[in-house]
Amino acid sequence: MPNWSNWSGRQQATPEALHFLRSEADAQALVAKAAQSGIGVRAAGSGHSHAPLVPDDGVIVDTTGLAGVVSINGEARRARVWAGTKIYALGRPLHDAGLALQNQGDIDRQAIGGACATGTHGTGIKLQSLSAAVTGARIVLASGDIVECNAENESQIWQAARLNLGALGIVTQLELRVRQAYRLQEQSWTAGFEELLPQLPDLTPATRHFEFFWYPNNDTAVIKTIEETSAEASYPLAEEGGRIGWSYEVLPNHRPHLHTEMEYSVAADRGADCLGEIRRLVQSEFPEVRWPVEYRTVAADDVWLSSAYQRPTVTISIHQDIREDETPYFRECERVFLAFGGRPHWGKVNYLDGNQLAAMHPRWQDWWTVRDQLDPKGIFVNAYLRQLRPG
């Protein structure tokens, strides 16, 4: 039986078939056949989600073959790309057209389709998630038909598709809002946590990209700021923390150590207090934890299932080595995040049920209504999503 596993190895599946897509026509035929036989279909990007979003015992569809840039409209600042394209493979072609993504996350190994499907984001008080940059999508539906959606055409489907959890169909292409190419300069330094805390209100808005990792073992923070610059790129690029280069060269990092992760978004004005509570919890209950806690910001958006829906956001991520049992630590942190009105990252660990998620997401029912209309038999809903379904 074919096996599938995610990046960390924590999520595994033994589906009936692993299918490697190379064309949209193949996706259409595959989905129509699966729907006829009532077999589930889950698209996979790079398998970098910690949440059990991809595992299914039906067909897991590897979308890596649907890669490349379809078209670029420099004037309108739009790029249409195949959904299986890895984010790292978008940098050069966009740059050659004088363009770039508005922002990127910590790494660039994800497929753009997978990243948008879960609300992947970078950091920056004025910068939204990748899902918010989705201006259009082309989707193979359960019927095998294709829908093109955007703000003018099939706008409800577009709203649901911007952050779709793989549950609307196989997204073959995405149209993204991009901007003119830009260079960035990174700076990094270490400070005691107590020293950093009073500086946060000034540092956060003063910087295009601001983030820090708090290290529990010595109570210090490694702070990183990234600003636009007109300085020439400097090659070879320096180590993380000192790079000057084009945005797609400076924003992504290398994260080789296998871990699992929980991330919650809280209202921006509660971010520092929430982190303070997490710090107290780690210091008093989990002194053995060595992995850092990451603090980032994301601008508000109007994406239905976004963790930054209608609220400026601070995201706080906790990590644990993949060889350790993260459950007691993550569960206690989740209690803190929930007390601060947190919403979980869709691609990372959480222990919530559908009622809790519904209460956090004002457009939860709308999203499910659109989804269920497109796929009444639920072939794109795996076991994990099924238990979240309303009613």
| Min CB(244)–ligand FAD separation in Å | 21
Among residues 106, 62, 385, the alpha carbon closest in space to that of 259 is found at: 106
Among 13, 79, 90, 170, binds ligand FAD (CB under 6 A): 170
Name the residue among 386, 383, 379, 370 with its Cα closest to residue 31: 379
Partner residues linked to 72 by β-bridges: 79
Identify the residue among 19, 39, 63, 208 touching ligand FAD (CB under 6 A): 63
Output the smallest distance, CB 11 to ligand FAD, in A.
9
Nearest distance in Å: CB 285, ligand FAD: 26
Reduce the DSSP state of residue 363 to 3 states and report it: coil
Judged by CB under 6 A, how many residues of this single chain contact ligand FAD? 32
Measured CA angle at 177 (ends 31, 111), to 5 deg: 45
Is residue 54 a contact residue for ligand FAD (CB under 6 A)?
A: yes
Under the binding rule (CB under 6 A), the answer on residue 111 touching ligand FAD is yes
Q: Which stretch binds ligand FAD (CB under 6 A): 45-53, 70-78, 177-185, 276-284?
A: 45-53
**Tokens 């840039």 identify what position?**
69
Q: How far is the CB of 104 from ligand FAD (least distance, A)?
A: 8
Among residues 288, 270, 269, 283, the alpha carbon closest in space to that of 338 is found at 270
What's 314's DSSP letter? E
> CB-wise, 197 or 253, nearer to ligand FAD?
253
Give min distance, CB of 21 to ligand FAD, in A.
8
Binding map of ligand FAD across residues 147-166, x = CB under 6 A, - = no contact: ------------------xx
Within 8 A by CB and 6+ apart from 174, the residues are 80, 81, 83, 112, 113, 116, 134, 136, 137, 138
Residues 71-90 that bind ligand FAD (CB under 6 A): 83
> Contact at 8 Å (CB) between 137 and 175?
yes
Alpha helices in 152-303 (DSSP H): 155-162, 193-196, 200-206, 247-250, 271-285
- Cα of first residue to Cα of last residue in the chain, in angstroms, is 34
**Owner of token pair 């050659």:** 96
- Give least dist CB 95 to ligand FAD, A: 21
Contact call for residue 40 and ligand FAD (CB under 6 A): no
**Residue 136, interface with ligand FAD (CB under 6 A)?**
no
In angstroms, the CA 214 to CA 171 distance is 37
Q: How far is the CB of 117 from ligand FAD (least distance, A)?
A: 3
Residue of 255, 280, 335, 386 that binds ligand FAD (CB under 6 A): 255
Cα gap 133→23, rounded to integer Å: 24
In the complex, the smallest distance separating the C-beta of residue 6 from ligand FAD, rounded to whole angstroms, is 6
Piece of the chain touching ligand FAD by CB under 6 A; list 12-20, 30-38, 46-54, 235-243: 46-54
Element (DSSP H or E) covering residue 364: helix 364-374
Q: What angle do CA 70, 117, 254 make, to 5 degrees?
A: 85
Choose the binding region for ligand FAD from 102-110, 232-240, 241-249, 329-337 (rule: CB under 6 A): 102-110
Q: How far apart are CA 88 and CA 253, in angstroms?
A: 11
Contact present, 34 and 57 (Cβ < 8 Å): no
Nearest distance in Å: CB 183, ligand FAD: 21
- Residue closer to ligand FAD, measured from CB, 280 or 290: 290
**Interface with ligand FAD includes 135 (CB under 6 A)?**
no
CA distance linking residue 383 with residue 390, whole number of Å: 14
Interface with ligand FAD includes 297 (CB under 6 A)? no
Residue placing its CB nearer to ligand FAD in the complex, 71 or 283: 71
Q: Based on C-alpha coordinates, what's the Rg of the chain?
A: 20
Which residue matches tokens 């923070």? 221
Of 37-45, 142-150, 277-285, 319-327, the window that binds ligand FAD (rule: CB under 6 A) is 37-45
43 binds ligand FAD (CB under 6 A): yes
Separation CA 359–CA 136 (nearest Å):
28
Q: Does 110 bind ligand FAD (CB under 6 A)?
A: yes
Least spacing, CB of residue 322 vs ligand FAD, in Å: 10
Which positions touch ligand FAD (CB under 6 A)?
A: 7, 42-49, 53-54, 63, 83, 105-107, 110-111, 113-115, 117-118, 120-121, 165-166, 170-171, 255, 345, 347
